[in-house]
Amino acid sequence: MTPAFSLCVYCGSRPGQDAAFADAARQVGTWIGEHGGQLVYVGGHNGLMGVVADAALDAGARVIGVIPQALVEKEWAHTGCTELHVVDTMHERKRIMAEHADAFLSLPGGIGTLEEFFEVWTWRQLGYHAKPVGLLNLNGYYDNLLAFLATSVKSGFMSDWQMGLISVASDTEQLLQQLVQTAGMAPQAQRLDQI
């Protein structure tokens, strides 16, 4: 059965100190499954990424994990994924994840999450895809980042148009609904292979 949508979720490989982060990851995975969707993620079993994957699987979602061989060798792979793609490089991992996604959502996380978020946002502004990109600002986690981005706009290094390419919300379900609804109207990416 074809999933209703495919959501790529970026999040921490650690659980974080606030239990609300794990609760949100669980809510995202459950929501994906309950709405007939598919989760695409980095294929790990630890931290928030393990929580979102387990919740999606428990709710009946297909889960596609993409993980480099080097991380499989460290025993970080989630062996319960519906599909687990083992790749050679991080670049290949991110390309495959993007190609399998209708939309992207970043939950709280560290530098890996930020790097993935900024990459798909950059790809969107360059026209490599037209898929929606969301940032869950749970409990103000990304307040300082958003303030910095506002400073970048004020300083002339970014534009309001670029900021308009991302959806930011603190309510998990609201953001999920917005991303999936917008993804239904987005044209399919044509240029990811050129990145």
Q: Residue with structure tokens 């307040």?
A: 143
Please check whether residue 189 lies inside any domain of the structure: no
Whether 134 contacts 167, CB under 8 Å:
yes
The number of folded domains in the chain is 1
Whether 25 contacts 107, CB under 8 Å:
yes
Please check whether residue 59 lies inside any domain of the structure: yes
Please check whether residue 32 lies inside any domain of the structure: yes
pLDDT of residue 1: 75
Give DSSP secondary structure letters for 33-54. Answer: HHTT-EEEE--B-SHHHHHHHH
How far is it, in rounded angstroms, from Cα 96 to Cα 111? Answer: 20
Please check whether residue 1 lies inside any domain of the structure: no
Six token digits for residue 113: 């999450």
Residue type, 139: N
Please check whether residue 115 lies inside any domain of the structure: no
- CATH at residue 164: 3.40.50.450
| Burial readout 156-166 (b: 16 or more C-beta within 10 A, e: otherwise) | eeeeeebeeeb
Going residue by residue through the chain, which has 195 residues, state the pLDDT in tens, using 9 for 90 and above. Answer: 789 999 999 999 999 999 999 999 999 999 999 999 999 999 999 999 999 999 999 999 999 999 999 999 988 999 999 999 999 999 999 999 999 999 999 999 999 999 999 999 999 999 999 999 999 999 999 999 999 999 999 999 999 999 999 999 999 999 999 999 998 755 444 444 444
Please check whether residue 42 lies inside any domain of the structure: yes
- Expressed as residue numbers, the domain containing 25 is 6-109+121-184
How far is it, in rounded angstroms, from Cα 177 to Cα 155? Answer: 33
